[in-house]
């Protein structure tokens, strides 16, 4: 029996970029000690008070079907958070609760693409972006963001691609995974003008919105004329270390959210009520828990800058946000894939090859700052020393 092309073509017939990560996990399963600097998983777990709220909710009976678009309280909490941070009036009818940010990205592209429509996204990109677009029948087209520009996307390149392809949507991510770039106001205003001129939906992945080390996070939804053409995807995963709870949201125009609720009814049929209760409790605590969760990554980005300043082989665009640092290892003469595999074999340190994140990241590696400070300092020092040996 033949499977659908839409399913079998999710990775475009090539790699999904996770090989080094999966190989590291197999090594760990065999008892080998590997320092994992691969995925964006906090080295702390969900705060005990949030887990207590989840336990109370479950034991109080919130284990049945929850409302498909989300509980009233959770949608109201998200609406309040987004309105406070964007200045755009937001009500519960603008909010759909999703099973994490990834489900939000999938649903958002489903909302704006017909079969065969072109969807633009920025390269380097989070590994699932092109597959998410293919999964809904879209045609992914990458727009390069160059390291010499600080990985800020160029509006003229987006405009040219939109004109050439007749694209229907653009996906951006700031603070950015994998580069750590925080898009400037000038960059976002220029992108907004392209979206309006080319009639593009803008899907904005803002899961790292509180992890900003330099500059400021600006949601494009807040820019003039953008609220009606923007679908904002957010999540509790990075802000509250709730990765496994799988709870996120889409914020957008009321009509879009109503139709997305129909999609949710026919897919996952909502998010567990006791998880929503815990997330509502967490959002009710304000910014303090988010600042606490972000603080270790701010410290580690300073450690990374210090270590990078002490050598001259590996180059990096200083990360302005998120929990990663992108390292240019081309001076070694190795590809990102070869470097990452050799590093795992020889140093038992696992990082993600830049090629997992697109052509613009070729010859780079992404290092997740997701182990304790001193372990991170030692591990990154070993990565840089390894690069120096290979370059020599």
Q: How far, in Å, are 99, 246, 249, 277, 321 from residue 273 at the CA level?
A: 12, 12, 14, 6, 32
Q: Once rounded to an integer, what is the mean pLDDT over residues 238-257?
A: 98
pLDDT digits (tens, 9 = 90+) for 19-71: 999 999 999 999 999 999 999 999 999 999 999 999 999 999 999 999 999 99
pLDDT digits (tens, 9 = 90+) for 112-129: 999 999 999 999 999 999
pLDDT digits (tens, 9 = 90+) for 368-381: 999 999 999 999 99
Q: Once rounded to an integer, what is the mean pLDDT over residues 312-332?
A: 95
Model confidence band, residue 314 (pLDDT cutoffs 50, 70, 90): very high
Percent of the chain exceeding pLDDT 90 equals 96
Model confidence band, residue 12 (pLDDT cutoffs 50, 70, 90): confident
Predicted pLDDT at 373:
98
Q: In the chain, which segments carry CATH 3.40.640.10?
A: 61-285
Predicted pLDDT at 15:
67
Predicted pLDDT at 18:
84
The residues pairing with 234 across neighbouring beta strands, listed in sequence order, are: 249
The runs of H, that is alpha helices, within the chain are 5-8, 19-29, 48-59, 72-86, 100-112, 129-135, 155-165, 185-198, 254-265, 273-284, 288-309, 336-347, 373-391
Question: Is residue 187 within 8 Å of residue 215, measured between CB atoms?
Answer: no
Question: Is 16's pLDDT higher than 70?
Answer: no
Question: Is 358's pLDDT higher than 90?
Answer: yes
Q: What is the mean pLDDT of the chain?
A: 96
Q: How far, in Å, are 56, 273, 278, 333 from residue 52 at the CA level?
A: 6, 14, 8, 51
pLDDT digits (tens, 9 = 90+) for 199-243: 999 999 999 999 999 999 999 999 999 999 999 999 999 999 999
Question: Is 14's pLDDT higher than 80?
Answer: no
Predicted pLDDT at 317:
87
Report which of 10, 125, 79, 42 is spatially closest to residue 232, judged by C-alpha positions.
79
Q: Once rounded to an integer, what is the mean pLDDT over residues 315-339?
A: 95
58 burial class (0-12, 13-18, 19+ CB within 10 angstroms)? middle
Model confidence band, residue 11 (pLDDT cutoffs 50, 70, 90): confident
Predicted pLDDT at 13:
73
Question: Is 275's pLDDT higher than 80?
Answer: yes
Residue 227 per-residue DSSP state? G
Q: In the chain, which segments carry CATH 3.90.1150.10?
A: 5-45+289-387
Classified as helix, coil or strand, 234 is strand
* CATH number 3.40.50.300 given to 61-285: no
Predicted pLDDT at 278:
98
Question: Is 363's pLDDT higher than 80?
Answer: yes
Domain spanning 5-45+289-387: which CATH class is it, in words? Answer: alpha beta
Question: Is 194's pLDDT higher than 90?
Answer: yes
The C-alpha angle with vertex 52 and arms to 50 and 57, in degrees rounded to 5, equals 95
Please give the structure tokens belonging to residue 26. Answer: 């197999």
Q: Once rounded to an integer, what is the mean pLDDT over residues 71-87?
A: 97
How long, in residues, is the chain? 392
């Amino acid at each position: 029996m033949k499977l659908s092309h839409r399913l079998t073509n999710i990775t475009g017939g090539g790699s999904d970029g996770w090989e080094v990560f999966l190989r590291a996990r197999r090594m760990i399963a065999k008892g080998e000690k590997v320092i994992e600097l691969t995925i964006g998983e906090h080295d702390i777990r969900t705060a005990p008070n949030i887990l207590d709220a989840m336990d109370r909710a479950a034991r109080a009976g919130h284990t049945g079907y929850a409302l498909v678009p989300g509980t009233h309280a959770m949608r109201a909490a998200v609406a309040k958070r987004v309105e406070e941070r964007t200045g755009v009036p937001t009500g519960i009818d603008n909010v759909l609760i999703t099973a994490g940010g990834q489900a939000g990205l999938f649903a958002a592209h489903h909302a704006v693409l017909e079969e065969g429509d072109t969807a633009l996204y920025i390269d380097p990109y989070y590994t699932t972006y092109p597959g998410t677009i293919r999964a809904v029948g879209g045609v992914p087209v990458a727009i390069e963001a160059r390291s010499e520009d600080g990985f800020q996307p160029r509006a003229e390149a987006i405009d040219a691609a939109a004109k050439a392809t007749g694209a229907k949507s653009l996906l951006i991510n700031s603070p950015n995974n994998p580069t750590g770039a925080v898009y400037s106001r000038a960059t976002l205003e220029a992108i907004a003008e392209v979206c309006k001129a080319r009639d593009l939906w803008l899907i904005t992945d803002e899961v790292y919105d509180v992890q900003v080390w330099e500059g400021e996070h600006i949601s494009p939804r807040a820019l003039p004329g953008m609220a009606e053409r923007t679908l904002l995807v957010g999540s509790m995963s990075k802000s509250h270390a709730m990765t496994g709870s799988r709870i996120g949201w889409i914020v957008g125009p009321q009509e879009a959210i109503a139709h997305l609720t129909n999609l949710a009814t026919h897919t996952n049929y909502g998010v567990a009520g006791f998880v929503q209760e815990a997330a509502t409790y967490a959002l009710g605590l304000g910014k303090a828990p988010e600042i606490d969760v972000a603080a270790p990554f701010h410290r580690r980005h300073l450690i990374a800058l210090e270590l990078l300043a002490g050598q001259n082989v590996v180059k990096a665009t200083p990360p302005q946000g998120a929990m990663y640092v992108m390292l240019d290892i081309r001076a070694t003469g190795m590809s990102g894939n070869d470097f990452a595999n050799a590093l795992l074999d020889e140093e038992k340190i696992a990082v993600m090859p830049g090629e997992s994140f697109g052509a613009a990241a070729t010859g780079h590696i992404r290092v997740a700052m997701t182990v304790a400070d001193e372990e991170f300092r030692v591990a990154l020092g070993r990565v840089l020393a390894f690069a120096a040996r290979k370059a020599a």
